[in-house]
Amino acid sequence: MTEGTTTTRRSLRPSRLLLLLAALGVAAGSALFGGILSESPASTTQPAAAAAAPFAGRVPSIPAARDTATTIGKLQAELRAEPDDAASLTLLGLEYEQRARETGDPSYYSKAEGVLRDALGIAPGSPLAESGLGSLALSRHRFREALVLGRRAIAYGEAAAAPNAIQSRSYGIVGDALIELGRYGEAFDSFDRMMELEPGLASYARASYA
């Protein structure tokens, strides 16, 4: 998908909040304590203080279970009508990542990266799109890159006053990357922060490793 040229930053529409939380419930996909660092580390340049549009209210809680293939089809249809919608691009990227885990088809990872980068091209500083790239790096065993992306997502989220669910997800990515890099104390600090922001199955499972 071609990157949009507009720099307008879009807040998530109310109709997409349910899809957002479902996407947030997706696991990072990297096996804790068992990964092998197989890729070159990304640059550790500190992120600029960019921010996405502020998020209003709290994301409602719904079950994470859904028909991923159907959701992908709906998002693709929305993007055919409105190709520069950064929110739909971000959600589509997260759904592609989940579909890769469900099917074992790595081509979905490439699709995920493409649409997430498109989303960031339209809405620079999006914490959810950045964390999507972080979880993708975990799935590819690029743990140093995941650490940089996760920390950048946290910084973007703080600047944008993102909901706790988004910030919690970013701390989980940072913690997962630190575990894989053998930096356990820092990892558990990240998991503690993840649990403080959004208590739930994902955060409790990680905190249990401590």
Q: What is the mean pLDDT of each run of 10 residues along the chain (210 residues)?
A: 38 42 40 30 33 35 64 96 96 96 96 98 96 98 98 97 95 97 96 93 78
pLDDT at residue 65 in the model? 53
φ, ψ (nearest 5 deg) of residue 64: -80, -15
Element (H, E) at 52: none
φ and ψ at residue 102, rounded to 5 degrees: -70, -35
Contact 38, 148 (CB under 8 A): no
Alpha-helix runs per DSSP H in 36-163: 68-81, 86-103, 107-122, 127-139, 143-160
pLDDT at residue number 204: 82
Q: CATH: 2.160.10.10, 1.25.40.10, 1.10.10.10, 3.30.360.10. Which one for 125-210?
A: 1.25.40.10
The amino acid that residue 145 corresponds to is: E
Q: Say which residues have a Cβ less than 8 Å from residue 95's Cβ, sequence separation at least 6.
A: 23, 68, 71, 72, 75
Which residue has 């104390």 as its token pair? Answer: 185
What pLDDT, on a 0 to 100 scale, did the predictor assign at position 129? 97
Residues of the chain with CATH 1.25.40.10: 125-210
